Structure 1
């Protein structure tokens, strides 16, 4: 039996199929672009709030005073389950106390200096990490795109057997898409190791939580903490009865005396002001990819041992190295600059790949001006939306609805471009992007 389908119906189906492919490409492009920008996550925080107090180090007693001062402001709030103290580090030389309800910068003397106001930096991280979707769904989607990037990188090498031999062959003049294809292929080769590392670690981070839930269901009777314990250590038993604030200064003093070669980056106080409270110090190890080792202490400051992220089994060390390798948080500013340059190249590869695909469809007689206009709206609309959200943050303050602004613009710009495809919006969007960047820069100097 043959199903009779009209030519117009086939054309509409092909266009719908292409539109779905365009949506996937748009999300991949957004993930790559935001990932490139978020490499400077620490620097963006300093730009957002330049007046926050900065210091190269803070004394243990000052940290204790800061923790006590912040908790004293929460007498009328539900109890905090995890309190974090961000310690001064080279990239972000600030001390910040973060609870379940609020965050404050503290001075070198431990006094509260100002509320933390880094809404744009957090929005940017959330956009890359989970597309600003709360819960498990967003991270899972981004993890799937990591797998997609990995497959695209490997299949691209297999599909072009001369790709390495022609690594420096570049026909810049466009001839039916040849120049664009050369840029795509050359940048793909030059960024291949970086792209594979980013795709693999992104997939591991995004899908790691899903894997943990699966392990918990299969082997740990749905106990997620038990599934994480072999890698990140066990959670202590909770005891919600009230107790004096734990000694945070003593663990920091212990680290300075007994582990002078490592640098504490975070102090984590679990279940503060309860009998079950305990202190965990995350300390960075020099010349290591791991984000840090976890050192555990009791409420009285007694040392209880470390988790083993620095010298435990290979799985622990690999898991602890994933984040720094993905975000470029090692080697200081030079490594970050390299990551940004490679990230931009990877973003261009994604953008040109879709442009080449649309060009091939057009040469086969599939004229789809709406899709091409929509892709222009994605390529230039996403950075325009990022620039305008940053401008909104500067003009409206930390409470600006950044997620709503960004996603409204990110969706609306391509849709408007597709609705008015007669004149491709590329040049207009480029002018608007330049104008938004100039306005953001001027506003930062003024505000």
Structure 2
């Protein structure tokens, strides 16, 4: 490689790394507990709650929706989801059907009685960490900014790989010159851990960038892929809960259309995951991979007429797969532990990169040469 080319790649690696390092450090530090989000939540929110009638029949979804609306009479229903290990229905509501996430209210209900399931009051540390990691409390602008930092990270990784080959020509793989100066020792650690984590970091970086595009992806799907389903509703308004057809009947139609799939959640009319006029009933597959790919059935919310069930476009599938892959949520606890170890390695790579840049700047000011 020519010296000028090497210098160009070095400049790309240095400046892309420096610009994104602070934010990547924040994402790695906040991402570490998020890898174990389920396990930490189980510890923080553990209680001895039992359903009112453990062996009793489950109440209908319409009854559960009514209970949620009684609990929040000034709200519109946005989402309904279901616990997998207990008879609990979760309802997210908001002051308007298109309410922002900060205005949403989440409540859980016992499906054997309709009563509220007691939640943990006070500060939710995991929710705080998740919001910081996702958008730095800035909403869509924060997500897109972190996506841009992710693109810089990918450029830093690619340029680092390009620089690694000529650097290691005279050294065996994994060499750490511990007897040399601290700068040389940490440079070797930086290069070793960087090349060890390169594939993982590319995967996490790419999936992270995809995750930051969630809002544009969902908006594109809603506006374009579902446009034909809203053609006849030009002058209609979002139906109120009192005007909506039976939710149980709508879900039954969706499940009949896909008997080999499992109900995951319901999006009500007016929200980002549905049209202004339909229930969007999302189902998922039953294998480790297809359980993360959701397929919506659309049912007219006023008449209860089944509209269509259609496969999500490729960009929605990429979004569905990116979230679990980003946090290592495919292979149980062993994979999460591996993700955590690689995350710690990445923190070391980022930290040593800043240290090496600082040492280099100091040497340049003093007029020293390279070691």
| TM norm structure 1 | 0.61
Q: Corresponding residue for 1:148?
A: 152
Counterpart of 1:293 (choices 292, 295, 298) is 295
Distance 1:227 1:97, change over 3 A: closer
Count of aligned residue pairs for this structure pair: 326
Counterpart of 2:80 (choices 79, 85, 102) is 85
Q: 1-side partners of 2:72 and 2:189: how far apart?
A: 56
Q: Give the Å deviation of 1:176.
A: 2.8
Confirm or deny that 1:321 pairs with 2:317: no
Q: Give the Å deviation of 1:74.
A: 2.4
Task: State how 1:6-405 maps to structure 2 within 5 Å.
Answer: 24-51=20-47, 53=49, 61-75=59-73, 77=74, 79-80=75-76, 82-89=77-84, 95-100=89-94, 101-109=104-112, 110-115=114-119, 117=121, 119-134=124-139, 136-162=140-166, 166-172=172-178, 175-207=181-213, 209=215, 225=219, 228-230=222-224, 236=230, 237=233, 239-240=237-238, 242=240, 243-254=242-253, 259-271=258-270, 278-285=278-285, 286-288=287-289, 290-299=292-301, 302-309=305-312, 312=313, 314-365=314-365
Q: Corresponding residue for 1:398?
A: none
Q: 1-side partners of 2:214 and 2:153: how far apart?
A: 17
Q: Give the Å deviation of 1:162.
A: 5.0
Q: CA RMSD in A?
A: 3.8
* Greater CA drift, 169-178 or 230-239: 230-239
Contact 2:80 2:266 in 1 (8 A): yes
Unaligned runs of 5+ in 2: 1-13, 95-103
Q: Secondary structure at the match of 1:279?
A: strand
Q: 1-side partners of 2:333 and 2:137: how far apart?
A: 27
Contact 2:207 2:323 in 1 (8 A): yes
Unaligned runs of 5+ in 1: 1-17, 213-223, 368-447
Q: 2-side partners of 1:54 and 1:146: how far apart?
A: 43
| TM norm structure 2 | 0.73
Contact 2:59 2:111 in 1 (8 A): no
Q: 2-side partners of 1:173 and 1:234: how far apart?
A: 69
Q: 2-side partners of 1:323 and 1:26: how far apart?
A: 22
Q: Secondary structure at the match of 1:161?
A: helix
Contact 1:202 1:326 in 2 (8 A): yes
Distance 1:208 1:282, change over 3 A: closer
Contact 1:251 1:301 in 2 (8 A): yes
Q: 1-side partners of 2:50 and 2:346: how far apart?
A: 34
Contact 2:20 2:153 in 1 (8 A): no
Q: Give the Å deviation of 1:161.
A: 1.0
Q: 2-side partners of 1:208 and 1:360: how far apart?
A: 39
Contact 1:31 1:128 in 2 (8 A): yes
Q: Give the Å deviation of 1:268.
A: 1.8
* Greater CA drift, 36-45 or 183-192: 36-45
Q: Secondary structure at the match of 1:177?
A: helix
